[in-house]
Amino acid sequence: MSRYIQNFLKFKPLLGELVARDIKIKYRRSVLGVLWTLLNPLCMMIILSVVFSNLFKFDIENFPLYILSGQVVFNFYSDATSGAMSAIIGSAALIKKVYVPKYLFVLSRVFSSTINLMASFTAMLIVMAATRTEMHWTAFLFPIPLILLVLFSLGIGLILAAVTVKFRDVIHLYGVFVTGLLYLTPVIYPMSILPDWLNKVVMLNPLTNIVMMFRDVMLNNSVFSLSSLLIAAVEAFVSMGIGLYVFYKNQDKFILNI
Amino acid sequence: MDRRTVVKVENVSMRFNLSSEKFDSFKEYIIKSIKNQVSYDEFWALKDVSFEVLQGDSLGLIGLNGSGKSTMLKTIAGVLKPTEGSVAVNGNVAPLIELGAGFDFDLTAKENVYLNGALLGYSRKMMEGYYNDIVEFSELHDFMDVPVKNFSSGMVSRLAFAIATIGTPDILIVDEVLSVGDFRFQQKCEERIHRMMDSGTTILFVSHSIEQVKSICNKIVWLEKGHLKRFGDALEICEEYSKCY
């Protein structure tokens, strides 16, 4: 165990550099630069709320924020897992030549998505201030659902990264899967419109629980129940456990397949 | 002087599966495995190779193309895990395997210095200390803020060599890299390698130029088709090798 920790400490600077690289390259040569991490979710939100509050009317108070809060969570998940999925193949040139702990590539992608998550969360706070939405003390609990979300996504990302090295089909399949998942997560619709059987299916989606926890503390002035906290925590740790196991078992074979 | 063993290679064999049919898709894989048609052509890039390198030695690996030199270096660098046998490395390895492998071509040279340093396990702070030395050695004063994609291959290798040889790593792996750059820069690199040897760094050196091997190495591993043909003192084996080819 201490060998792993030592190794991690040696390569900790690399993690920082990789995250910095991801961010730098994304916004290189753009005038507004890193400001885009903030502007992007803001613009998306405006479009979505215009479309959805005029086209489809759901009986939800403060609909733009309802969508935005769902988007913050779901976009992170989609961004982090898709990024992690291509992390190993994308770094093939490096992995073939230099010894680097391979999970670092996955970790760095998830971390740079986390930075985007914080930006879109800030954008959400700006919208809340602009629309004079009441802020409650429960909002201070926001790190709990978000941290669990990051852990959950990291686990899924590790699994995807390992599997993709062997089967490139996953890349194509996962794009479709994420789109489907978006509709199985109450991002743009309220749970109340779902028929009974569909409700059960949507509740099986781990993201649903996290989205609801996040909305509870941010918008509904309520604290999520202990049971949903436990479920989210268990899901996050199971995902991490499986992810680490799958990744660890396969990582020595990566080089033969990339 | 009692010198410790830095690299110990014991009965290392490395097998690659040259899959005659490569399946990239899951469906194909399932169908083929059910029909039991998953066949691989085995290829042993290394077979039962053992040798030891002591601290301060400089070991040359020679052999024709495809004799397993690069595979050997990769197992020592920890990039590949040997199928059989074991490699024990005592100390930190600075790999020069193919210069510029760690570069991100969209980043500027300066940013790449830090990224590459981190790949070798140096923190940003340590790299700041080495930064001037790197610029000095690579002679790229005016180009440090230019994205590396606009560099010529000579510039890339100069920068990469300068980064990889900072500090005093315990083991330096040099894989045919001295063939890049102009004559003057090659000399400069050789000088630097000699200086590192004087300060106790162990060198693992691959080159097709027997002259270079002679001038740098004191021990030689001669590989032929993955088998260890000779291991011993440089001069003797170099002569034999030159006669052979």
Separation in Å, CA A124 to CA A42, A69, A131, B80: 8, 7, 11, 46
**Pairwise CB contact (< 8 Å): B16 & A256:** yes
**Is B245 touching A (CB cutoff 8 A)?**
no
A20-42 pLDDT, tens digit per residue, is: 888 888 887 788 877 887 888 78
CATH number of the domain enclosing B229: 3.40.50.300
Q: Is B129 on the interface with A (CB under 8 A)?
A: no
Residue B229 CA, chain-centre distance (Å), reads: 20
* 8 Å CB contact of B106 and A25: yes
Whole-structure pTM value: 0.85
Q: What are phi and psi of B185, to 5 degrees?
A: -70, -35
Q: In this structure, is residue B175 part of a structural domain?
A: yes
Write down the pLDDT at residue B21: 56
Q: Which two tokens stand for residue A83?
A: 């990024």
- To 10 degrees, the CA torsion angle through B202, B207, B213, B219? 50
pLDDT at A185: 93
| Contact assignment for B119 to A96 by CB distance below 8 Å | no
| Cα dihedral: B228, A98, B181, B141 (round 10) | -160
Reported ipTM: the value is: 0.76
Residue B201 lies in a domain: yes
Chain A: residue whose CA lies nearest to B24: A167
Query: What residues have CB less than 8 Å from A124, skipping those under 6 apart?
Result: A41, A45, A65, A68, A69, A72, A218
Q: Which domain holds residue B236?
A: 5-33+43-96+165-244
pLDDT at residue B173 in the model: 84
Continuous H helices in chain A: 2-27, 35-54, 63-85, 87-90, 92-97, 103-130, 143-166, 169-183, 196-204, 206-218, 226-250, 254-257
B17 touches chain A (CB under 8 A): yes
Q: Is residue A58 predicted with pLDDT exceeding 80?
A: no
Contact between B25 and A169 using a beta-carbon 8 Å cutoff: yes
A21: closest chain B residue by CA: B107
* Residue B19: predicted pLDDT: 62
- Note the pLDDT of residue A241: 96
Which residue does chain A place closest to B76, by CA atoms? A99
Domain residue limits, chain A: 2-257
Residue A68 has pLDDT above 90, yes or no: no
How many domains, chain B?
1
Cβ distance B97 to A167 less than 8 Å, yes or no, reads: no
pLDDT recorded at residue A258: 75
The conformation of residue A205, written as its DSSP 8-state character, comes to S
Contacts of A24 in chain B (CB under 8 A): 107, 111
Mean pLDDT value across chain A: 88
- Count residue pairs from A and B with Cβ separation < 8 A: 73
**Residue B140 forms part of a structural domain:** no
**Chain-chain contact of B119 with A255 (C-beta, under 8 angstroms):** no
Residue B153 belongs to a domain: no
* Closest residue in chain B to residue A171, using alpha carbons only: B25
Least Cα distance to B11 among B42, B44, B40 occurs for: B44
Cα(B60)–Cα(B206) distance, integer angstroms: 6
Which chain A residue's Cα is nearest to B73? Answer: A97
Structure-token pair, residue B66: 């495809």
Confidence of residue B22 (pLDDT cuts 50, 70, 90): low
- First-residue to last-residue Cα distance in chain B: 37
Q: Is residue B158 domain-resident? A: no
Do the Cβ atoms of B149 and B104 come closer than 8 Å? no
Residue A26 class from Cβ within 10 Å (0-12 exposed, 13-18 middle, 19+ buried)? middle
Q: Do B101 and A94 touch (CB under 8 A)?
A: yes
How far is B107 from B104, CA to CA, in rounded Å?
6
Say if residues A228 and A213 touch (Cβ distance below 8 Å).
yes
Answer whether B99's CB lies under 8 Å from B177's CB: yes
Chain segment B196-205, per-residue pLDDT in tens: 888 888 888 8
Examine residue B29 and state whether it is found in any structural domain, yes or no. yes
Q: At B7, is the pLDDT very low, low, confident or very high (cuts 50, 70, 90)?
A: confident
Rg (CA), chain B: 20
Return the ∠ at Cα B99 (arms to A5 and A18), rounded to 5°.
Answer: 40
Helix (H) or strand (E) holding B114: helix B109-119
DSSP, collapsed to helix, strand or coil, labels residue A94 as helix
pLDDT tens across A160-185, in order?
999 999 888 899 999 999 999 999 99
Q: Is B226 part of the contact surface with chain A (CB cutoff 8 Å)?
A: no
Q: What is the rounded radius of gyration, in angstroms, for the C-alpha atoms of chain A?
A: 19
